[in-house]
Amino acid sequence: MKEVNVKFLFLLDIVGARLRIRSGGKVLARLPDGLTYTLQIPEGQSLTFTYNFHFRTTIQLPKDKDKVFIVVYYSVREYFPAILMDVFRKLLVAQVVSEEEFNLANKEEYKKAINPKQDFEQNKAVLIIGFLLSFIYTFLPFNLLKGQDNNRDLSFFIGVMGIVSFAMLIEQKKLIQLKEYKARVLVFSALSIFLVFIIPLSPFMKFTLLLATATLVLSVLKMKPLKNQASEK
Protein backbone atom coordinates (compact mmCIF):
# COMPACT_ATOMS: atom_id res chain seq x y z
CA MET A 1 0.00 0.00 0.00
CA LYS A 2 1.10 3.52 -0.74
CA GLU A 3 0.44 6.53 1.45
CA VAL A 4 -0.84 9.22 -0.90
CA ASN A 5 -1.24 12.81 0.31
CA VAL A 6 -3.40 15.08 -1.82
CA LYS A 7 -3.80 18.85 -1.62
CA PHE A 8 -6.46 20.62 -3.71
CA LEU A 9 -6.01 24.24 -4.77
CA PHE A 10 -8.93 25.87 -6.57
CA LEU A 11 -7.48 29.08 -7.98
CA LEU A 12 -10.74 30.88 -8.84
CA ASP A 13 -12.88 32.97 -6.49
CA ILE A 14 -15.66 30.41 -6.19
CA VAL A 15 -16.74 29.07 -2.81
CA GLY A 16 -17.56 25.42 -2.27
CA ALA A 17 -15.36 23.76 -4.91
CA ARG A 18 -14.80 20.07 -4.24
CA LEU A 19 -12.44 17.56 -5.81
CA ARG A 20 -13.58 13.96 -6.28
CA ILE A 21 -10.84 11.36 -5.89
CA ARG A 22 -11.33 7.98 -7.58
CA SER A 23 -9.29 4.81 -7.76
CA GLY A 24 -10.28 1.40 -9.04
CA GLY A 25 -13.66 2.73 -10.13
CA LYS A 26 -14.61 3.86 -6.59
CA VAL A 27 -14.95 7.35 -5.14
CA LEU A 28 -12.49 7.51 -2.25
CA ALA A 29 -12.98 11.08 -1.09
CA ARG A 30 -14.45 14.49 -1.84
CA LEU A 31 -11.82 17.05 -1.00
CA PRO A 32 -12.75 20.72 -0.36
CA ASP A 33 -10.62 23.55 -1.71
CA GLY A 34 -7.47 24.28 0.28
CA LEU A 35 -7.48 21.09 2.35
CA THR A 36 -5.31 17.97 2.31
CA TYR A 37 -6.27 14.32 2.45
CA THR A 38 -4.29 11.15 3.08
CA LEU A 39 -5.18 7.91 1.27
CA GLN A 40 -3.94 4.33 1.32
CA ILE A 41 -3.75 3.12 -2.29
CA PRO A 42 -2.84 -0.41 -3.44
CA GLU A 43 0.37 -0.75 -5.42
CA GLY A 44 -0.03 -0.29 -9.18
CA GLN A 45 -3.25 1.70 -9.12
CA SER A 46 -3.75 5.18 -10.53
CA LEU A 47 -5.76 8.09 -9.16
CA THR A 48 -8.39 10.03 -11.09
CA PHE A 49 -9.35 13.52 -9.96
CA THR A 50 -12.62 15.10 -11.06
CA TYR A 51 -14.03 18.57 -10.60
CA ASN A 52 -17.55 19.46 -11.67
CA PHE A 53 -17.99 16.10 -13.46
CA HIS A 54 -16.34 17.08 -16.77
CA PHE A 55 -12.94 18.40 -15.65
CA ARG A 56 -10.81 15.33 -15.08
CA THR A 57 -7.19 14.23 -14.88
CA THR A 58 -5.55 10.88 -14.09
CA ILE A 59 -2.12 10.33 -12.61
CA GLN A 60 -0.10 7.12 -12.33
CA LEU A 61 1.50 6.77 -8.91
CA PRO A 62 5.30 6.43 -8.95
CA LYS A 63 6.44 2.88 -8.24
CA ASP A 64 9.61 3.78 -6.33
CA LYS A 65 7.94 5.78 -3.55
CA ASP A 66 5.99 4.58 -0.52
CA LYS A 67 4.82 8.10 0.34
CA VAL A 68 3.50 10.22 -2.52
CA PHE A 69 2.58 13.91 -2.41
CA ILE A 70 0.24 15.29 -5.06
CA VAL A 71 -0.92 18.85 -5.60
CA VAL A 72 -4.07 19.17 -7.70
CA TYR A 73 -5.10 22.59 -8.92
CA TYR A 74 -7.79 24.04 -11.14
CA SER A 75 -7.17 27.33 -12.85
CA VAL A 76 -8.01 29.63 -15.72
CA ARG A 77 -5.51 32.24 -16.87
CA GLU A 78 -7.14 35.56 -16.16
CA TYR A 79 -5.71 37.71 -18.95
CA PHE A 80 -6.95 38.14 -22.51
CA PRO A 81 -6.64 36.27 -24.86
CA ALA A 82 -5.40 33.34 -22.73
CA ILE A 83 -8.76 33.17 -20.94
CA LEU A 84 -10.35 32.28 -24.30
CA MET A 85 -7.62 29.83 -25.30
CA ASP A 86 -7.97 27.97 -22.01
CA VAL A 87 -11.12 26.37 -23.37
CA PHE A 88 -8.72 24.01 -25.18
CA ARG A 89 -6.28 23.55 -22.27
CA LYS A 90 -6.36 21.01 -19.45
CA LEU A 91 -7.63 23.11 -16.55
CA LEU A 92 -7.41 20.45 -13.84
CA VAL A 93 -3.77 19.52 -13.28
CA ALA A 94 -2.22 16.97 -10.89
CA GLN A 95 1.48 17.08 -10.06
CA VAL A 96 3.66 14.78 -7.97
CA VAL A 97 5.85 17.00 -5.78
CA SER A 98 8.29 16.63 -2.92
CA GLU A 99 7.09 16.70 0.69
CA GLU A 100 8.56 20.17 1.15
CA GLU A 101 6.84 21.51 -1.98
CA PHE A 102 3.61 19.90 -0.82
CA ASN A 103 3.74 21.61 2.57
CA LEU A 104 4.55 24.99 1.04
CA ALA A 105 2.01 24.81 -1.80
CA ASN A 106 -0.61 27.53 -1.52
CA LYS A 107 -3.13 29.27 -3.75
CA GLU A 108 -1.29 32.59 -3.85
CA GLU A 109 1.96 31.14 -5.24
CA TYR A 110 0.18 28.99 -7.83
CA LYS A 111 -1.90 31.98 -8.94
CA LYS A 112 1.25 34.04 -9.43
CA ALA A 113 2.82 31.27 -11.50
CA ILE A 114 -0.20 30.93 -13.78
CA ASN A 115 -1.04 34.64 -13.99
CA PRO A 116 2.38 36.32 -13.68
CA LYS A 117 2.24 40.04 -12.96
CA GLN A 118 4.58 42.07 -15.14
CA ASP A 119 5.21 45.70 -14.34
CA PHE A 120 5.81 47.79 -17.43
CA GLU A 121 6.13 51.41 -18.45
CA GLN A 122 3.28 53.06 -20.31
CA ASN A 123 4.16 53.73 -23.96
CA LYS A 124 2.98 57.24 -24.81
CA ALA A 125 3.17 56.58 -28.56
CA VAL A 126 0.67 53.74 -28.19
CA LEU A 127 -1.79 55.94 -26.33
CA ILE A 128 -1.40 58.95 -28.62
CA ILE A 129 -1.80 56.96 -31.85
CA GLY A 130 -4.57 54.85 -30.38
CA PHE A 131 -6.61 57.84 -29.25
CA LEU A 132 -5.95 59.64 -32.54
CA LEU A 133 -7.21 56.71 -34.63
CA SER A 134 -10.18 56.28 -32.31
CA PHE A 135 -11.24 59.92 -32.65
CA ILE A 136 -10.84 59.77 -36.43
CA TYR A 137 -13.09 56.71 -36.71
CA THR A 138 -15.60 58.27 -34.32
CA PHE A 139 -15.98 61.46 -36.33
CA LEU A 140 -15.62 60.03 -39.84
CA PRO A 141 -19.41 59.41 -40.13
CA PHE A 142 -20.05 63.10 -39.48
CA ASN A 143 -17.46 64.40 -41.95
CA LEU A 144 -15.90 62.34 -44.76
CA LEU A 145 -18.63 59.69 -44.63
CA LYS A 146 -21.49 62.17 -44.28
CA GLY A 147 -24.33 61.28 -46.60
CA GLN A 148 -23.02 57.76 -47.22
CA ASP A 149 -24.45 54.63 -45.67
CA ASN A 150 -21.38 52.43 -46.16
CA ASN A 151 -20.41 51.21 -42.68
CA ARG A 152 -20.89 54.57 -40.98
CA ASP A 153 -22.26 52.91 -37.84
CA LEU A 154 -19.35 50.45 -37.74
CA SER A 155 -16.82 53.26 -37.97
CA PHE A 156 -18.50 55.15 -35.13
CA PHE A 157 -18.73 52.00 -32.99
CA ILE A 158 -15.05 51.08 -33.45
CA GLY A 159 -14.03 54.66 -32.74
CA VAL A 160 -16.00 54.88 -29.50
CA MET A 161 -14.83 51.42 -28.45
CA GLY A 162 -11.23 52.52 -29.08
CA ILE A 163 -11.62 55.65 -26.96
CA VAL A 164 -13.05 53.63 -24.08
CA SER A 165 -10.43 50.88 -24.43
CA PHE A 166 -7.43 53.23 -24.41
CA ALA A 167 -8.90 55.19 -21.50
CA MET A 168 -9.19 51.89 -19.61
CA LEU A 169 -5.57 51.07 -20.44
CA ILE A 170 -4.55 54.22 -18.59
CA GLU A 171 -6.85 53.61 -15.63
CA GLN A 172 -6.21 49.87 -15.28
CA LYS A 173 -2.51 49.84 -16.15
CA LYS A 174 -1.54 48.44 -12.73
CA LEU A 175 -4.28 45.81 -12.81
CA ILE A 176 -3.69 44.10 -16.14
CA GLN A 177 -0.96 41.90 -17.56
CA LEU A 178 1.42 43.16 -20.24
CA LYS A 179 0.13 40.36 -22.51
CA GLU A 180 -3.43 41.55 -21.99
CA TYR A 181 -2.37 45.15 -22.65
CA LYS A 182 -0.77 44.13 -25.94
CA ALA A 183 -3.72 41.94 -26.90
CA ARG A 184 -6.21 44.79 -26.45
CA VAL A 185 -4.16 47.12 -28.63
CA LEU A 186 -3.63 44.45 -31.29
CA VAL A 187 -7.36 43.68 -31.42
CA PHE A 188 -8.08 47.37 -31.99
CA SER A 189 -5.35 47.47 -34.65
CA ALA A 190 -6.92 44.52 -36.47
CA LEU A 191 -10.31 46.27 -36.43
CA SER A 192 -8.65 49.43 -37.70
CA ILE A 193 -7.12 47.62 -40.68
CA PHE A 194 -10.42 45.89 -41.41
CA LEU A 195 -12.27 49.21 -41.28
CA VAL A 196 -9.83 50.95 -43.63
CA PHE A 197 -10.52 48.41 -46.35
CA ILE A 198 -14.31 48.52 -46.13
CA ILE A 199 -15.09 52.24 -45.80
CA PRO A 200 -15.02 54.56 -48.84
CA LEU A 201 -11.97 56.79 -48.35
CA SER A 202 -9.41 58.35 -50.64
CA PRO A 203 -6.19 56.38 -51.30
CA PHE A 204 -4.21 59.00 -49.37
CA MET A 205 -6.51 58.69 -46.33
CA LYS A 206 -6.36 54.89 -46.44
CA PHE A 207 -2.55 54.97 -46.65
CA THR A 208 -2.35 57.41 -43.72
CA LEU A 209 -4.61 55.29 -41.50
CA LEU A 210 -2.75 52.09 -42.37
CA LEU A 211 0.60 53.74 -41.66
CA ALA A 212 -0.66 54.98 -38.28
CA THR A 213 -2.00 51.52 -37.46
CA ALA A 214 1.30 49.87 -38.42
CA THR A 215 3.14 52.33 -36.17
CA LEU A 216 0.72 51.48 -33.35
CA VAL A 217 1.39 47.74 -33.77
CA LEU A 218 5.18 48.20 -33.81
CA SER A 219 5.05 50.47 -30.76
CA VAL A 220 3.04 48.04 -28.64
CA LEU A 221 5.13 45.02 -29.69
CA LYS A 222 8.26 46.80 -28.45
CA MET A 223 6.84 47.09 -24.94
CA LYS A 224 8.66 44.85 -22.44
CA PRO A 225 8.54 44.17 -18.69
CA LEU A 226 10.67 46.40 -16.47
CA LYS A 227 14.27 45.19 -16.41
CA ASN A 228 14.52 44.74 -12.66
CA GLN A 229 11.51 42.38 -12.66
CA ALA A 230 12.66 40.51 -15.76
CA SER A 231 16.04 39.88 -14.14
CA GLU A 232 14.38 38.50 -11.00
CA LYS A 233 12.70 35.83 -13.14
Instruction: Average the pLDDT over 17-41 and give the result.
Output: 82
- Residue 215 in any domain: the answer is yes
Residue 65, pLDDT > 80, answer yes
Domain boundary among the residues 114, 141, 160 is at 114
Q: With a threshold of 0.85, does the pTM exceed it?
A: no
Domain holding 97: CATH number? 2.60.40
29 and 96 together in one domain = yes
CA angle 210, 211, 214 (to 5 degrees): 85
Q: Which residues on neighbouring strands pair with residue 92, listed in sequence order? A: 74
Instruction: Average the pLDDT over 182-191 and give the result.
Output: 91
48 and 105 together in one domain = yes
Amino acid in the structure at residue 66: D
Polymer length of the chain: 233
Domain count for the chain: 2
Q: Which domain holds residue 176?
A: 124-227
Are 135 and 159 within 8 A, CB to CB? yes
- Residue 108 in any domain: the answer is yes
100 and 43 together in one domain = yes
Residue 210, pLDDT > 80, answer yes
- Residue 232 in any domain: the answer is no
Domain boundary among the residues 47, 79, 114 is at 114
CB atoms within 10 A of CB 57: 17
Are 5 and 68 within 8 A, CB to CB? yes
152 and 94 together in one domain = no
21 and 98 together in one domain = yes
pLDDT band at 87 (very low <50, low <70, confident <90, very high): low
Angle between helices 124-139 and 203-221 (to 10 degrees): 150
- Residue 168 in any domain: the answer is yes
Q: DSSP strand E in 65-178: where?
A: 67-74, 92-97
Residue 176, pLDDT > 50, answer yes
- Residue 85 in any domain: the answer is yes
17 and 89 together in one domain = yes
